[in-house]
């Protein structure tokens, strides 16, 4: 199958117009028509219904569109990857991070790349997992690091190494609850103070309600909600708010003694499973291996530290 014909077909499908597609491709309309006709003959059917100035995709055209886009993208990525390997380059990397991974990875990753690979283009974005999955499938993102329990298994997704992250309630050192309940803080007592958390998954919500009752439903429990865990922890350090979430981002402040885990009774038994998500069949550029090793060093180290205990 001629790759050029597929590129021409994509331009037509995306613009909806032979004239605009030809202009975009810098070819004549007659050359574009011949290319589309050749592809239709090869596939054995019409790809587009030509109705005057309107062009609509046929059922065959709709079926071919997604596959053609994937083939053209993969061919471009393969060509780029081969060129980079010949030149000794790493390529570019566009990442999506969930709230927890962003708090643990974003700044260290940017610092690492600035120091060790200053010529590599890197971009990092945060946002809802559902939106980032869509961007991954559209190839505007190369990889995600998210709580994989929020990702529905699918044939087009690859789940990389996964890391278990324990969750807890955390407060500032000197919080009044610590002095009032030295042997363990009743959950009901926590409710007297603001609770700071990122948007929680349905699974975590079920665990909380099962453990502590209906008042632990995050829709009622959470009073300070934010995607930025660093901001939440800074707020907790300066107020009597209580943080609810994974411990990894809080580890530096916990080690300094600025923050402490709140001994809630019964103990919270929840966490997150952070993992790398990529698109199946996509040609990876060399910089992805650098990122994989970095993620394993940071998240794997955090998991080992948590498992080692105090």
Residue 128 structure tokens: 């809802």
- For residues 192 and 272, what is the distance between their CA atoms, to the nearest angstrom? 26
pLDDT value of residue 78:
65
> Which pLDDT tens digit goes with each residue over 179-231?
999 889 999 999 999 999 998 888 888 889 999 999 999 889 999 999 899 99
Contact between 274 and 145 (Cβ < 8 Å): yes
Q: Are residues 111 and 184 in the same domain?
A: no
Does the pLDDT value for residue 81 go beyond 70? no
Query: So what's the pLDDT on residue 204?
Result: 84
pLDDT in tens, 82-95: 555 544 456 789 99
Q: Is the pLDDT of residue 153 over 70?
A: yes
Q: Are residues 156 and 114 in the same domain?
A: yes
Give the domain range for residue 260. 164-272
| Residues 263 and 179: beta-carbon distance below 8 Å | no
Indicate the length of the chain as a whole number.
310
- pLDDT score recorded for residue 285: 79
- The pTM of this model reads 0.68
Which residues are within 8 A (CB) of 40 and not within 5 positions of it... i.e. 6 or more apart? 46, 47
Q: Out of 30-39, 55-64, 265-274, which region has the weakest mean confidence (pLDDT)?
A: 55-64
One domain, residues 155 and 287? yes
- Structurally, the chain folds into a number of domains equal to 3
In terms of pLDDT, which residue wins out, 80 or 173? 173
150 and 290: one domain? yes
Shared-domain flag, residues 152 and 286:
yes
Q: For the CA atoms of 86, 92, 98, 101, what is the dihedral angle to 10 degrees?
A: 60
**Could you give the residue ranges of the DSSP H alpha helices within 16-98?**
18-25, 29-43, 59-87
| Backbone φ, ψ for residue 207 (5° rounding) | -60, -45
Q: How far apart are CA 301 and CA 295, in angstroms?
A: 9
On whether both 110 and 152 belong to a single domain, the answer is: yes
79 and 14 share a domain?
yes
Pair 29, 65 in one domain: yes
Residue identified by tokens 């600025």 is: 258
What is the mean pLDDT of the segment spanning 141-169? Answer: 92
């Amino acid at each position: 199958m001629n790759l050029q014909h597929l590129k021409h077909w994509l331009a037509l499908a995306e613009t909806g117009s032979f004239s605009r597609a030809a202009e975009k491709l810098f070819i004549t309309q007659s050359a574009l028509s011949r290319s589309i006709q050749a592809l239709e003959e090869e596939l054995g059917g019409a790809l587009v219904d030509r109705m005057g100035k309107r062009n609509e995709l046929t059922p065959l055209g709709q079926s071919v569109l997604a596959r053609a886009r994937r083939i053209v993208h993969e061919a471009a990525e393969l060509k780029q990857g081969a060129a980079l390997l010949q030149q000794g380059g790493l390529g570019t990397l566009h990442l999506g991070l969930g709230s927890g991974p962003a708090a643990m990875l974003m700044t260290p990753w940017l610092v690492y790349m600035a120091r060790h690979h200053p010529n590599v283009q890197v971009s990092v974005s945060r946002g809802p997992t559902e939106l980032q999955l869509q961007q991954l499938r559209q190839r505007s993102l190369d990889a995600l690091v998210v709580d994989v329990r929020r990702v529905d298994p699918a044939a087009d997704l690859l789940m990389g190494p996964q890391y278990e992250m324990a969750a807890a309630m955390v407060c500032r050192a000197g919080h009044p609850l610590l002095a009032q309940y030295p042997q363990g803080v009743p959950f009901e007592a926590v409710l007297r103070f603001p609770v700071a958390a990122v948007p929680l998954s349905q699974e975590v919500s079920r665990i909380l309600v099962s453990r502590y009752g209906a008042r632990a439903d995050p829709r009622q429990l959470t009073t300070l909600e934010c995607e930025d865990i660093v901001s939440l922890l800074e707020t907790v350090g300066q107020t009597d708010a209580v943080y609810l979430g994974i411990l990894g981002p809080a580890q530096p402040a916990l080690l300094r003694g600025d923050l402490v885990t709140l001994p809630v009774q019964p103990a919270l038994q929840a966490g997150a499973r952070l993992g790398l998500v990529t698109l199946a069949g996509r040609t990876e550029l060399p910089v992805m291996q650098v990122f994989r090793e970095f993620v394993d060093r940071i998240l794997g180290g955090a998991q080992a530290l948590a498992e080692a205990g105090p």
